[in-house]
Amino acid sequence: MLAIRVLLEGSIDYAGLFPPAGLDMAAAVRNYGAYRSGEAAWALGRFVLPMNRLAEFELAAGGLLPRAPTPDGWRLAVLAGSDPAGEIRTLGEFNCRHAAEGSAAVTADVVELKCDSVEDIDRAADALPSYLQAYIEIPLRDNLEDLVAAISRRGMRAKVRTGGVTPEAFPSTPQLLRFLRACIEAGVGFKATAGLHHPLRAVYRLTYADDAPTATMYGFLNLFLAAAFLRAGMDESDAAELLEEKFPQAFDVGPNHIGWRQHRLGHKELELARREAIVSFGSCSFTEPVADLELLGLLQPEEPLRGPDPRA
């Protein structure tokens, strides 16, 4: 497998329901089904939706889910709301219903929650069944290390918000670096969400509107490689520069390695980073991240990328 695929296989959790795309359920579900059978399906992760829209998802996806038993059914990441205990019961009923049909066509195996304190994390962990992998979105505040330690103690994973549709939604480089370091030192896997449509850091429009404001966004390639290099022993000053790297010429993407400046990682280091550190990122577009990699010459397509427009 090519090194870039080792780094990014299954990494893009499709969040087409959320801004700036903001698609309706039927359109987002159609897109996800098309991406699963497209040339870039290797990069596709889970379908992300709010817990209170599970019934709507079932209705929209009914005709697209596999009909025969399959080991490769749809996987969902579900965002819990204000009533986690009740919502977890609903989620369990959803999984039992589809398991009873015998096809394993769809499974909701990831739940994402927001927690601001160690007590909130412990309450969430106590309420969750063992079959669910939990991602806890935490604020980048003074108690960050305490929160990450609590997540580690309860066997969960962390989540960081790396942007949004307003400039102030983006954390600073030191804030993001501190999150990465805390997770890596605690052995906590994590995902990122928001503001990561593009591989490299640059100024982009924050929505799809022609008159949308712009801001400097993080790149998902910057983020994944910073996590991988930090895990391999890179010092924080270099990792901060990597998070802010804007030039594709600074990267060396070969069949068996990925390099940045004088640093280089092989397959084994990339695999460990994905397993033990950066797991995935949420994006309301799937075609944009992959197409941008191709345009930058960082990914050689077998065929031109085809797929629905993220705004469709």
Write out pLDDT tens, residues 50-70.
999 999 999 999 888 877 656
Half-sphere exposure of 59 (CA within 13 A, CB side): 7
Domain extent listing, the chain: 3-295
Write out pLDDT tens, residues 218-266.
999 999 999 999 999 999 999 999 999 999 999 999 999 999 999 999 9
Name residues whose C-beta falls within 8 Å of residue 209's C-beta, 6 or more positions apart in sequence. none
Write out pLDDT tens, residues 91-138.
988 888 887 655 578 999 999 999 999 999 999 999 999 889 999 999
Could you give the CA distance from residue 311 to residue 292 in angstroms, rounded to a whole number? 16
Could you give the CA distance from residue 199 to residue 261 in angstroms, rounded to a whole number? 17
The CATH code belonging to domain 3-295 is: 3.20.20
Peptide bond just before 20 cis, omega within 30 deg: yes
